[in-house]
Amino acid sequence: MTEQNKTQRFNKLALQHLDAAYNLARWLTRNSPDAEDVVQESLLKAFRHFDGFRGGNGKAWFLTIVRNSSYTWLKSQKGFQQESFDEGCDYDDFNPQFPGAVSWASDPEQLVLQEANRELIDAAIRALPAEFREVLVLRELEDFSYKEIAAITGRPVGTVMSRLARSRALLRRMLAQHFSVESAR
């Protein structure tokens, strides 16, 4: 394969998935500038190893690289501890704060209800542990199947299903907690 042909094939495959790559990286790194860096690094890695791509689902292949690059970036940050949230975690004690969430007590004339809900849900998703956040984003926002998520994350389908169920339950609990506190005001 000539270099020009390789570049054209790579551009056709990867560039159409940049939005999905950025979304996944943003959810995992929790901020836009770092997500942009991760996606740029992922593009370089993907291009360098494009000869190893054997066809199949190009989006899943590229997002696997983005996911791995995101975790490499997270590990390089001071204070990051990757924990297993599947074992030994008491989900009843999970009580995250919602950084940046819109307060329902804010000036109602200036808030649009739909935007407030979106921001609240975004904050709740950001508060989830990375292992839960990634499967939720890949399934609900990027519309991947369980099998595709398993391929991207390198986990068995059962683990993907379990993490997705737990992430939904945690999200539901966080949002219910928020609404019960707000309705008491």
Q: Return mean pLDDT, the chain.
A: 81
DSSP 87: S
Q: Is the pLDDT of residue 93 over 90?
A: no
How much is the average pLDDT of 155-177?
Answer: 94
Q: Is the pLDDT of residue 101 over 50?
A: no
The burial class, CB within 10 Å (0-12 / 13-18 / 19+), for 154 is exposed
% the chain with pLDDT above 70: 77
pLDDT tens across 108-128, in order? Answer: 544 466 677 778 888 889 999
* pTM of the model as a whole: 0.67
Residue 78 pLDDT: 66
Residue 13 neighbours by CB under 8 Å, 6+ apart: 53, 58, 62
DSSP secondary structure, 88-148, as one string: S--GGG-----TTPPPTTS-TTT--HHHHHHHHHHHHHHHS-HHHHHHHIIIIIS---HHH
C-alpha to C-alpha distance for 17 and 20, rounded to whole angstroms: 5
Question: Which domains are assigned to the chain?
Answer: 3-76 (1.10.1740.10), 109-183 (1.10.10.10)
Residue 158 pLDDT: 96
Cα-Cα end-to-end distance for the chain: 66
What angle, rounded to 10 degrees, do the helices at 3-14 and 58-76 form? 80
